[in-house]
Structure 1
Amino acid sequence: MTVRHVGLRGAVTRPEARTRLLRAGERLDMPALLDGASLRLQDADVPGPAVTRGFTWERPDAETEHWYPQGVTTSADAEPGATDRDVVVTTWYAHHRPRRTGSRLTFVDLAARRYRHVLLVRAVRTPWGVRARPVPIHAGGIAWYGPYLYVAATRVGILLFRVSDLLKVGPRSGGRGVASRLGYDVVLPEYARLSAWSRDEGSRLRYSFLSVAHGAAGEAPELVAGEYGGVGHSQRLWRFALDPVTSLPVREDSGRAVPTELHTAQSARMQGATALDGRWYVTTSQGRGNPGDLLVGAPGGFRRHKGVLPTGCEDIAAWPQRRELWSVTEWPGMRWVYAVDPDAWPGPDVEQPGCKVSLVE
């Protein structure tokens, strides 16, 4: 397989229906959304040698069997002026009845130590007018770049949401019914779909996780994506160039976005991948109750730091301004959001005394 055989092709999702839905509610900017956050972060002693600090959710969110956290991103690459606060965003998918309840985002104000849930929706036309419907995706990863939130949708590809479309639903809003039923007062309508494309149906990439990758100083960020896969399944990593003007993947003349690089036969059970200063960081899970591993280096030459992450580790995001990596875990009762010092965990070219590592080819 070559990179030119796979990629993304984009289309705006039901623009007329979405516009009507937005007109029926009240737009919220990021400060207003965070000022309305009433849920409080809880202090937590997050296990794992790589963890520098972390927190958990209020008990109903920390212990629910219905919602499972998956993706994580930060305001590091948000559009200038979008927010003056340090924000972490996580994704959750509905573990039961996903078509009825869909998926959601959680916006965390780190300084205020408060958070707020937002339901992901899709505007649809019905005989009763435009209505909001839940978005039933696994939401295994998320990347915030410019005005957009990229959310992984596995075999579908990537769903695109605009931060400026955050909508507080009211009595006349088409989103009120589904939001009220599920207990939300803010929704975020789908803006566009970047559909996975392949010349060979069997080689279509699965978008299990996403992040914004940062190279050396002066290099433009890129969009990293990858596949979760057990033994016997594909386990690939790839990335796209991002246009700093449009904040969208760079497209060829055909209109498709094609990866700038694609790496096959990577590690089993990858849950997230990102890059900082050109060095890759990959999380891998080892089953419920078992600590996760952190892989550092580059595809084809990772060093595995065994058991340094909490159990149930998922997506990972780089925060260059804070010199941190952020990740999230999924299991009820063992559900944390936490930071990692990237400089404390070397790649294959550096030895660290007392650190149990192994090379991954």
Structure 2
Amino acid sequence: MKHRGRHRRRRRGRVVRAVLSGTALALTAAATMISASQATVTDNPGALQPLTSPAELGRLRLTEQPVPQQSLDRLAAAMGRPAGVDSVLNSADRTLRNADDCTSEEKAALPVAPAATRAYCWDPADAATREWQPASVTTSGGAGGDGRRGGNRVILSGWTHSGGTAAERGLARVAFVNAGDPDHLTYTWALLVVPVDGGRDYHGLASHVSGMVWYQDKLLVTASGGAGDALYVYDLHRIQRTTVTGDAIGKVPGGWSAHGYRWVLPAIASYRPAGGRCDRTTGAVAPCPEGLSLDRSAAPDSLVASAAMRSGGNRHTLLWRYPFSADPDRSGLLAADSSGSVAALEAYETKADDVRGVLSHRTGRSAEADWYLGRAATAQDGHGTLWRQDMQGAKTTSCGSSGTHHCWADGSGSLSYSAPTGEIWSLSGRVLFALPLSSVDEALR
């Protein structure tokens, strides 16, 4: 008992030291003075502008395209009984480094204001490769209940392959992170795939994954590029084991391969623009969703999406949301009518450009939701900007003796709110970090 007590005290000490280290690290990166006020800089995006016309909302409509059940059953019968999240976590073969063990370059990517309270860096082998790029994050906080799986909190992070051979380029993988012990996060990889040939085979998703949401038992991800612009849906009860270790993807002599990965997630459905395609240049046909997050403070629970205007462009960034279905037989899917059509609940325009992360949350201060937008770092400054917008105006933090508003993370990856813990999770460069939503609002007060 004495030994166990000392272990608990040492562990609590490590947690406290990691929090203090991460906070001090972010503060000393660029500033010692932090303030927040109504932004007066020239790039203030101002108030959100609601879009209400049938034509504006109509171009956001999606069509649900499920993979036939027969195809999914055929694939499962050939590959063996599907596994769940717990099985994947139990096979973890990598460890995230705590903030104290991150390099100075990795630490420099963290937010300055508000500061991260937890920060982790990937296994050195994954941190060293530049061909795989992390871009999205979501947590088991959206899975329902207390946000735990098998007693553990879980984080998922989506990465895209941006180089290598033509066969590798665009592949998408997901890190399954066991975050049950905040001092010791472990993870392993699963490859995102799409069933083909009626479930007799599969191929890699081969798309850039910039947004990701875990809701109930489903994982929704953005896809752009090789597989076309769409939202793909994965069932976290339908994770399949591979049986052959090799570079090939799909059915091979002797079994099933996934470019060396032990696990694959076969898509069960996709959502595509009702008009058949989206437009990244003008958005005249339909905007292509890039950022995703889950809003459980809304009624009903909703999927939040963004399509960003690039700096210097001639159009505005769009923000909108879709309702999730309340039908128990459609858990984790969007609310669709009998024809499979999904309508947006609401939409807004914002003058904020280069938005990489989007989050919507109703805190009780007003009847409308606050929208949090993470903007990418500029070439002149190593940090991005975090805005909170509503229909009254916009606020951001300031930091440093010069009062700069470039206080947020370097890479400004996706934003994910975990209601059970009250934390926002995000990515900056190759650092996974978290901070309380309350600290964001306090800094903006």
Q: Shorter-chain TM-score: which interval?
A: 0.7 to 0.9
- Please tell me the residue identity of whatever aligns with 1:153: A
After superposition, give the CA deviation of every residue in 1:130-164 in whole Å (9 maximum; x if it has no partner): 22211111110000111110001246220011001
CA contact (8 A) 1:276 1:320 kept: no
Cα separation, partners in 2 of 1:48 and 1:125, compared to 1, 3 Å? same
Contact 1:179 1:187 in 2 (8 A): no
2:287 is the counterpart of 1:205: yes
After superposition, residues 40-55 of structure 1 pair within 5 angstroms as: 40-44=95-99, 46=107, 47-49=110-112, 50=114, 51-55=116-120
Instruction: Report the residue type matching 2:64 in the other structure.
Output: G
Q: What residue number does 2:393 align with?
A: 301
Secondary structure of the residue that 1:71 maps to in structure 2? strand
| Residue 338 (1) aligns with residue 430 (2) | no
Partner SS state of residue 291, structure 1: coil
Judged with a 3 Å threshold, the aligned counterparts in structure 2 of structure 1 residues 315 and 76 are, in CA distance, closer, same or farther, namely: same
Pairing partner for 1:100 from 167, 171, 178: 167
Residues 228 and 183 (structure 1), Cα distance of their counterparts in 2 relative to 1, 3 Å cut: farther
2:249 aligned with 1:167: no
CA deviations over 1:234-274 (Å, ceiling 9, x no partner): 41110011123323222245531111111124411111111
Aligned equivalent of 1:359: none
Quote the offset at 1:297 in angstroms. 3.2
Relative to 1, partners in 2 of residues 1:48 and 1:79: Cα closer, same or farther, differing over 3 Å?
closer
Q: 1:317 to 1:97 in 2, by over 3 A?
A: same
Amino acid at match of 1:142: M
Q: Please state how far the C-alpha of 1:13 moved relative to its aligned partner.
A: 2.5
1:176 and 1:84 map into 2 onto residues whose CA distance is 34
1:301 Cα deviation after fit: 2.5
Partners of 1:17 and 1:287 in 2: how far apart? 46
From the superposition, tell whether residues 351 and 141 of structure 1 become closer, same or farther in structure 2 (CA, over 3 Å). closer
1:32-85 CA-to-partner distances (Å, cap 9, x unmatched) read 110110100101264323311110101121121111011110001215685431
In structure 2, the residue matched to 1:267 is 352
Q: In structure 2, which of residues 75, 80, 84 is the aligned counterpart of residue 29 of structure 1? A: 84
Q: Structure 1 stretch 318-327 or stretch 297-306: which is displaced more?
A: 297-306
Q: Is the aligned partner of 1:285 residue 2:376?
A: yes
Aligned equivalent of 1:143 = 213
Q: Could you list the per-position Cα deviations for residues 89-109 of structure 1 after superposition, in whole angstroms to 9, with x for gaps in the alignment?
A: 011111115862311111111
SS for the counterpart of 1:61 is helix
Q: Distance in 1 between matches of 2:427 and 2:140?
A: 16
- Does the Cα contact within 8 Å between 1:205 and 1:227 map onto a contact in 2? yes
Aligned equivalents of 2:164, 2:68: Cα separation in 1? 25
Count, aligned residues: 342
- C-alpha contact (below 8 Å) 1:21/1:174 kept by paired residues: no
Match of 2:334 among 221, 244, 249: 249
Matches within 5 A, 1:345-356: 345-346=440-441, 352=445
Aligned mates of 1:94, 1:187 — CA distance in 2: 16
1:84 and 1:346 map into 2 onto residues whose CA distance is 30
Structure with greater Cα Rg: 2
Partners of 1:205 and 1:198 in 2: how far apart? 11
Give 1:130's aligned residue. Answer: 200
Residue 223 of structure 1: aligned partner: 303
- The correspondence for 2:424, drawn from 325, 331, 347, is 325
| 1:179 positional shift | 7.1
- Higher relative strand content: 1
Residues 306 and 320 of structure 2 are in contact (CA less than 8 Å); yes or no, is this contact kept in structure 1? yes
Letter of the structure 2 residue corresponding to residue 103 of structure 1: A
Partner Cα distance (1:181, 1:19) in 2: 19
Could you list the runs of 5+ residues in structure 2 that have no partner in the other structure?
A: 1-54, 101-106, 363-368, 398-404
Corresponding residue for residue 78 of structure 1: 143
Q: Distance in 2 between matches of 1:151 and 1:89?
A: 11
Between the aligned partners of 1:300 and 1:152, the Cα distance in structure 2 is 30
Partner residue, 2:185: 113
Q: Distance in 2 between matches of 1:299 and 1:42?
A: 41
Deviations 1:294-351, CA, capped at 9 Å, x for gaps: 1123266221233332211210000111011000134xxxx1110022112239xx96
Asked whether 1:10 is paired with 2:64, we answer yes
Give the TM-score taking structure 2 as reference length: 0.70
CA distance in structure 2 between the aligned counterparts of 1:22 and 1:214, rounded to whole angstroms = 32
For residues 153 and 165 of structure 2, the distance between their equivalents in structure 1, rounded to whole angstroms, comes to 30
Superposition RMSD in Å: 2.8
CA distance in 2: counterparts of 1:293 and 1:321, whole angstroms: 26
CA shift, 1:28, in A, is 1.6
Cα distance, 1:321–1:79 mapped onto 2, change above 3 Å: closer
Q: Deviations over 1:198-241 (max 9, x none)?
A: 4997231211011101326xx33211001133131541110011
Query: Could you list the per-position Cα deviations for residues 11-41 of structure 1 after superposition, in whole angstroms to 9, with x for gaps in the alignment?
Result: 1125444332222224222111101101001
Alignment of 1:58-73 (within 5 A): 58-73=123-138
For 2:76 and 2:201, the matched residues in 1 are separated by: 11
Instruction: Quote the Cα distance in structure 2 between the aligned partners of 1:100 and 1:300.
Output: 48
Aligned counterpart in structure 2 of residue 158 of structure 1, from 208, 221, 231: 231
What is the rounded CA distance, in whole Å, between the counterparts of 1:176 and 1:254 in structure 2? 34
Give the equivalent residue in structure 2 for 1:358: none
- 2:356 and 2:391 mapped to 1: Cα distance? 15
